[in-house]
Amino acid sequence: MAYEKELDAAKKAASLAARLCQKVQKELLQSDVQSKSDKSPVTVADYGSQAVVSLLLQRELSSEPFSLVAEEDSADLRKDGSHEILERITKLVNDTLATENLHKPVDSTLSTDDLLKAIDCGTSEGGPNGRHWVLDPIDGTKGFLRGDQYAVALGLLEEGKVVLGVLACPNLPLASIAGDSKDKNSSSSDEKGCLFFATIGSGTYMQPLDSKSDPVKVHVSSVENPEEASFFESFEGAHSLHDLSSSIANKLGVKAPPVRIDSQAKYGALSRGDGAIYLRFPHKGYREKIWDHVAGAIVVTEAGGIVTDAGGKALDFSKGKYLDLDTGIIVANEKIMPLLLKAVRESIAEQEKASSL
């Protein structure tokens, strides 16, 4: 299978980073949360997860040139007064790496300086040439802070195309989260922690995050009638226009209420058919970043779904850190997509008309 070595390393890196996040979420302290210059939250776990993935990929794939486009950087950790938090992240990363049976074992403990360097390996700009790893060390930091959904999202771009994606979703139940799920009463419904992975042309698989049990192949929903479909959107109204989604859902005749969850766990849940549609319409002026969608996009497309912008164009991950989009991102299966595109077009036109009055 193509990308076998890379997939092995990516699964290992995302699982280990997720373990670090789970530990932090359990003992979350107020001092673990900082605010970035754009006022979004970042925690010791975001930094720790980024360092773990960066170090692990480099160790496991040491023969290859390494380029990583990742969300976090060390600027705030280098400021005066950050020493305590930096020490804490370094200890977290050292403790986490010590638990793993690595290909090349860690022979010495990392210093705070090594930690800063590992985080800053993620400053690549990506682009259309060569290979670039793309990482969101915690996607859904707000969900993470609430104790809800979040994901460690790792993907690989080759010549501007996504060829591999891994989503570790520590709080996502192994059973379906669809509102009307028959699995709801089954004994497995309490178990949480899913690892989704996909490589180009080979389909999407899911396995429990913390066990060695075999992966199962997953497929998007086969629902053809939108009335029977349910749709996902962001939990945070600031991340996506809930009014616009509800107008689109009404046009399609969707009966179920929206399923609002944080992070790319939405893409994971869609890839196994928990819902049939994902609608994401950021407020005007917001620019989507590639690390929020690279892993999720391949997980859904390899499971048979379609991911486009609101105009029906495939997402272009070759332009650097940002995605240039027509209005938003929509996801559905092949049958529903033409109807969805029509409903999206009509709802956006109505919204524009209303706002120009």
Ligand X SMILES: Nc1ncnc2c1ncn2[C@@H]1O[C@H](COP(=O)(O)O)[C@@H](OP(=O)(O)O)[C@H]1O
Place of tokens 């193509």: 2
CB of 42 to Mg ion, least distance (A): 6
Burial class (CB in 10 A: 0-12, 13-18, 19+), 215: middle
Q: Has 292 been labeled as part of a binding site?
A: yes
Q: Which residues of 245-262 are buried (b: 16+ CB within 10 A; e: fewer)?
A: bbbbbebbebebebbbbb
3-state secondary structure of 233: strand
Q: Which of 90, 96, 141, 308 is catalytic?
A: 141
Length of the chain: 357
Residue 262 within binding range of Mg ion, rule CB under 5 A: no
46 catalytic? Reply is yes
User: CA-to-CA distance for 37 and 14, rounded, in angstroms?
Assistant: 26
From the CB of 318, what's the least distance to ligand X, in Å? 19
Could you tell me the smallest distance in angstroms from the CB atom of residue 46 to Mg ion?
A: 6
Residue 236 interacts with which of ligand X, Mg ion, none, CB < 5 to 8 Å by class? ligand X
Interaction between residue 6 and ligand X (CB under 6 A): no
DSSP secondary structure code for residue 257 in this structure: P
Q: Which of 32, 60, 71, 302 forms a contact with Mg ion (CB under 5 A)? A: 71
Whether 141 is catalytic: yes
Question: Which residue shows structure tokens 């669809």?
Answer: 178
User: 315, 293 in Cβ contact below 8 A?
Assistant: yes
Minimum distance of Mg ion from residue 4's CB (angstroms): 27
Residue in 239, 272, 293, 321 binding ligand X, rule: CB under 6 A: 239
Q: Which is nearer to ligand X, 223 or 259 (CB)?
A: 259
Question: 161 to each of 127, 218, 275, how far by Cα in Å?
Answer: 10, 22, 26
Confirm whether residue 183 is marked as ligand binding. Answer: no
β-bridge mates for residue 77, sequence order: none
> Tokens for 85?
């938090």
Q: Please pick, among 32, 43, 46, 262, the residue that the annotation labels catalytic.
A: 46
**Residue 233 · residue 320 · CB < 8 Å:** no
Asked if 321 and 157 touch (Cβ cutoff 8 Å), the reply is: no
72 touching ligand X, by CB under 6 A: no
DSSP string, 140-208: -HHHHHHTS--EEEEEEEETTEEEEEEEEEEEEESS---TT-GGGGSGGGG-EEEEEEEETTS-EEEEE
User: Which of 205, 291 has the CB closer to ligand X?
Assistant: 291
The verdict on 292 binding Mg ion (CB under 5 A) reads: yes
Q: Kind of pairing, strands 277-280 and 259-260?
A: unpaired
71 annotated ligand binder: yes
The stretch near ligand X (CB under 6 A) out of 101-109, 121-129, 193-201, 285-293 is: 285-293
Q: Interface with ligand X includes 282 (CB under 6 A)?
A: yes
**What is the pattern of x (binds ligand X, CB under 6 A) and - over residues 149-188?**
----------------------------------------
Residues 12-51 that bind ligand X (CB under 6 A): 40
The answer to whether 136 is annotated as binding is yes
Q: State the number of binding residues for ligand X (CB under 6 A).
A: 19
CB 296 within 8 A of CB 169: no
Site for Mg ion in 102-141 (CB under 5 A): 136, 138-139, 141
Question: How far is the C-alpha of 11 from the C-alpha of 46, rounded, in Å?
Answer: 18
Give the interface segment with ligand X, choosing from 206-214, 231-239, 302-310, 348-356 (CB under 6 A).
Answer: 231-239
Binding-site residue positions for Mg(2+): 71, 136, 138-139, 292
Catalytic positions, written as ranges: 46, 141
Binding site for Mg ion (CB under 5 A): 40, 71, 136, 138-139, 141, 292
Residue ranges that bind ligand X, judged by CB under 6 A? 40, 71, 136, 138-141, 143, 234, 236, 238-239, 262-263, 282-283, 286, 289, 292
What residues are designated binding site? 71, 136, 138-139, 292
